C-alpha cells in the first residue's frame, strides 16, 4: 500500500484548501465559521485592528496547545487535552456541522494548518485552510473589519480521541535510521543543517531525517502548488513507503501541519505527526546530526 491511498477512515468531502474567491461565495452561509489563527508577536493586536469580516480569533499558545514549563516533555507546543480543545471549539461556536475556514498571516504556516489538522483529527469534516491567507482574501475583495466578533452559542462539541496518526519520541528512537521508515523535517534548510537555530537550544536534526522545507509546498506567489505537483514532488521522496512509515516534524509540531495539509491537498494519505518535534528531541540527550556544506 502506498501513499496514493486516499485519507483512510477520514472522509474528504471538500478540498483541504479553499481559494479566496470561493470563500467570498460562501460568506453569507449560516454554517460558515471563519477563524483567524495568526500567532506571534502582535498577532492578537493585528487581529483586533483588522481581520476578515466575521472571523473569530484562536490563540495557538493557549487554545491549540497545552504548554508545559518543561519543554523537554512534549516540546514547545504539545497538543491540548481533548477536554480543552472541546471547550475551545464550543467557545468559537463550532458544531460538528460547521463549515470552518481557517486563515493566518503566513499562509497556514503559523497555526491555520495546525488548527485544520486538529479539527480533522477529532473527526470534523468540513474544514479548509484559506490559500494565500489574510492578504490574498483582502486582495480578492473579502471585506475586513475591526469590530468585536461574537461567536454563536452552541452545545458542547463532544470529542473522543485524536484520530489522525501520531508518533512520539520513543518511536522516533526506534525508526529514525531504519530505511523502511522516513522522518521528514520541514524546517528551513539552515536549521536542519545546524547552521542556525533561532528558537531552540541546539542546532541540527534528527539522525536519518531528510529535509523537505514546508516552503516548497508553495509557489513564488505564496499559494499552494497544484495537487498534481505536490503529489509528484512528495512521491519522489517517499517512494513506495506506506503512510504509517512516514513521520513529519518541525520545531514544535505546528509548521509540520503545513506539510500534512499539502499532502492531504495532493490526495495522499496523511502520515504521522511528531508533535514534540525538534524542540523535544533536542532537549532529551538524543543524538544530533548536522550537515556541513562543502
pTM over 0.75: yes
Which tens digits make up the pLDDT trace of 168-182? Answer: 999 999 999 899 999
Domains defined along the chain, listed by start: 17-145 (3.40.250.10), 166-281 (3.40.250.10)
Cα(85)–Cα(66) distance, integer angstroms:
10
Identify the band that residue 6 occupies on the pLDDT scale cut at 50, 70 and 90: very low
Show Cβ contacts of residue 35 under 8 Å, excluding neighbours closer than 6 positions: 55, 56, 57, 58, 92, 100, 101, 102, 103, 112, 115
**Signed CA dihedral, 131, 132, 138, 139: sign only:** negative
Answer with the residue of higher pLDDT: 7 or 72: 72
pLDDT value at residue 4:
34
| 32 membership: H or E segment, kind and range | strand 32-36
**Signed CA dihedral, 175, 61, 103, 32: sign only:** positive
* Per-residue cell: 41: 508577536
Considering 18, 55, 246, 250, which one is annotated as catalytic? Answer: 250
Sheet with 182-185: strands ordered across: 166-167, 272-274, 246-249, 182-185, 210-211
257 part of the active site? no
Residue 130 pairs with which residues in a beta bridge? 18
User: What share of the chain has pLDDT > 90, as a percent?
Assistant: 91
Amino acid at each position: 500500500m502506498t501513499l496514493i491511498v486516499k485519507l483512510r477512515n477520514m472522509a474528504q468531502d471538500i478540498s483541504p484548501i479553499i481559494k479566496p474567491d470561493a470563500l467570498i461565495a460562501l460568506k453569507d452561509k449560516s454554517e460558515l465559521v471563519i477563524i483567524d489563527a495568526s500567532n506571534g508577536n502582535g498577532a492578537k493586536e493585528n487581529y483586533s485592528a483588522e481581520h476578515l469580516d466575521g472571523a473569530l480569533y484562536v490563540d495557538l499558545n493557549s487554545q491549540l496547545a497545552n504548554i508545559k514549563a518543561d519543554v523537554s516533555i512534549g516540546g514547545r507546543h504539545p497538543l491540548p487535552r481533548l477536554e480543552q480543545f472541546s471547550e475551545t471549539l464550543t467557545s468559537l461556536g463550532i458544531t460538528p456541522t460547521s463549515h470552518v475556514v481557517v486563515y493566518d498571516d503566513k499562509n497556514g504556516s503559523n497555526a491555520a494548518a495546525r488548527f485544520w489538522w486538529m479539527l480533522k483529527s477529532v473527526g470534523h469534516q468540513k474544514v479548509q485552510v484559506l490559500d494565500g491567507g489574510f492578504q490574498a482574501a483582502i486582495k480578492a475583495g473579502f471585506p475586513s473589519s475591526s469590530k468585536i466578533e461574537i461567536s454563536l452559542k452552541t452545545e458542547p462539541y463532544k470529542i473522543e480521541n485524536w484520530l489522525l496518526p501520531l508518533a512520539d519520541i520513543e518511536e522516533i528512537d526506534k525508526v529514525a535510521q531504519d530505511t523502511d521508515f522516513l522522518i521528514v523535517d520541514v524546517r528551513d534548510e539552515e536549521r536542519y543543517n545546524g547552521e542556525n537555530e533561532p528558537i531552540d537550544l541546539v542546532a541540527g536534526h534528527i539522525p536519518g531525517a531528510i529535509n523537505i522545507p514546508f516552503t516548497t509546498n508553495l509557489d513564488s506567489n505564496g499559494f499552494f502548488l497544484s495537487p498534481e505537483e505536490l503529489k509528484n514532488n512528495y512521491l519522489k521522496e517517499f517512494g513506495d513507503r506506506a503512510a504509517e512509515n512516514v513521520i513529519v516534524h518541525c520545531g514544535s509540531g505546528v509548521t509540520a501541519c503545513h506539510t500534512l495539509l499539502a499532502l492531504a491537498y495532493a490526495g495522499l494519505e496523511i502520515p504521522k505527526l511528531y508533535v514534540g518535534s525538534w524542540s523535544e528531541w533536542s532537549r532529551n540527550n538524543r543524538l544530533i546530526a548536522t550537515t556541513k556544506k562543502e
